[in-house]
Amino acid sequence: MARTENDSKIELVVKRRRWSDHDAEVVLSAWQETGGSLSGFARKHGVDPWRLMRWRRRLGKRAAIRFHRVRVVRPRADESSRGEGGLELVLRGGRRVVMQRGFDAALLEEVVRAVESWTC
């Protein structure tokens, strides 16, 4: 796989013992552009994932808006007759998260981040 200019910048930053706010923004932006998990990005670039999480909190970069492909499907007959409603989220690798109506969005965000960081 070809190295990009961005990879070179990241490599220089992660070697530094101390990061400036700008350094952290470069690395965090690069991670968010990949659309991959934080742990996968950290592993690829040889940086401690906790360091990235601390910088994300410090800079207030909770979650940049990322759009995901969505497919709207009709509810199954057994669901529509019961009027359950809710949401089924299919993540990378086919993992599914099913929420009932009235789910906690903050908890869903934590669950998705955790599941997406799994390597298996």
The pLDDT tens digits for 34-67 are 888 888 889 998 989 999 888 888 887 555 556 6
Predicted model pTM? 0.47
Please tell me the number of Cα atoms within 13 Å of 69 on its side-chain side: 4
pLDDT category of residue 118 using cuts at 50, 70 and 90: confident
pLDDT category of residue 10 using cuts at 50, 70 and 90: confident
Work out the mean pLDDT of the chain and round it to a whole number.
77
